Every structure is written in C-alpha cells, then in structure tokens.
C-alpha cells in the first residue's frame, strides 16, 4: 500500500484527490487501519502530512489542474478538511515524503525558479499573452535601436563640423 508522490524533472506528481462528503471518514478509517496493521509503513498518514500545508490558493491551483476534485463546495473547506485530519491523529514516525518536501522547498527557494514561474504564469500563460509579450519586447528593442541610431547620426554630423539646426 503506497501513495505515489514524486518530484521529477521539476514536476510534482501526486495522485488525484477526490474530496467529497465521505473524504474525512474514509481517510480516518485508512489511517486507523494503517496504525493497527501497517504501523511501520504510514503512507496514508505521511500523505496527509505532505498535503497538510494546503492553503486556499494551493487548493484552487490543484483544483484547476484536476488534481483535487472538490465536491464539498468552497475551496477553504477542502483545505480545512485536509488540515483537520492530520491534527487529530498522531503517528510517531518521520514522513515518508519528507525528502520530496525538502526538494520542493529547495526548488521554491531558488530565485531563478521563482522568476521563471512568474514569467511563465504572467507573461507566457497562453498563446495571446506570450505573443503580446514578445511583440512588446521587440518594439522596445526597435525603439531603443532607433533612438541610439538617431543619437549616433546626430553626434556624427556634429563631429563633422556641420551646423546644427536651430530650434524654436
């Protein structure tokens, strides 16, 4: 009995979690079974510990990606239900997924990864925003080049001893 949670190639892969009216009862029973019969392999409890840090924002993102199926209504109820489950059970062991959690935290703390994620989300989230971003950057580069060439031409004509045109 193992819940497959992996972090490979900078992608977190977790099983689909269906949160419905029976979710809490089902997971409580699984944790009770695990404590009685599989105490040396607390996979369900470790999974709950892993997803215990879900916030409403995380739940929304996971629901958008189809990882969490929300049948209880508000996303805050999903996060509260998951977070409440682990608090009511105590298992004296390290989490089986602590290595994955540590790698995720290290990945999140990396400034380069954060910057790439923000750029992808805000400026390259779909074809239209990506195209608009590339067009805006290209126009900015062309405007800077035009400004530089105008300045260069004006400076070159001043260096050749030509008279500057009078303004106003």
Buried/exposed 46-75: b ≥16 CB within 10 Å, e otherwise:
bbbbbbeebeeebbbebbeeeebebeeeeb
- Residue 165 is predicted with a pLDDT of 62
Give the angle 78-63-16 at the CA atoms, nearest 5°. 85
Answer whether 45's CB lies under 8 Å from 28's CB: no
- Residue 104 is predicted with a pLDDT of 83
- Per-domain residue ranges for the chain? 6-109
In this structure, the number of other CB atoms found within 10 A of the CB of residue 89 comes to 17
**pLDDT digit string, tens, across residues 76-96:** 777 777 777 766 666 555 567
Which portions of the chain are predicted below pLDDT 50? 1
- What is the DSSP code string of 115-148? HHHHHHHHHSSSHHHHHHHHHHHHHHHHHHHHHH
Answer whether 102's CB lies under 8 Å from 50's CB: no
- Residue 115 is predicted with a pLDDT of 94
- Residue 127 is predicted with a pLDDT of 94
């Amino acid at each position: 009995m193992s819940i497959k949670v992996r972090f490979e190639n900078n992608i977190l892969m977790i099983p689909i979690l269906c949160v419905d009216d029976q979710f809490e009862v089902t997971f409580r029973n699984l944790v009770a079974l695990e404590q009685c019969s599989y105490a040396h392999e607390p996979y369900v409890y470790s999974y709950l510990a892993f997803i215990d840090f879900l916030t409403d924002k995380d739940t929304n993102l996971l629901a958008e990606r189809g990882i969490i199926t929300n049948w209880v209504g508000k996303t805050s109820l999903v996060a509260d239900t998951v977070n409440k489950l682990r608090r009511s059970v105590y298992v004296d062991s390290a989490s089986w997924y602590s290595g994955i959690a540590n790698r995720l935290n290290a990945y999140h703390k990396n400034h380069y990864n954060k910057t790439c994620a923000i750029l992808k989300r805000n400026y390259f989230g779909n074809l239209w925003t990506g195209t608009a971003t590339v067009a805006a950057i290209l126009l900015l580069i062309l405007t800077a080049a035009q400004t530089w060439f105008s300045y260069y031409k004006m400076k070159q004509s001043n260096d050749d001893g030509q008279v500057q045109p009078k303004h106003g």
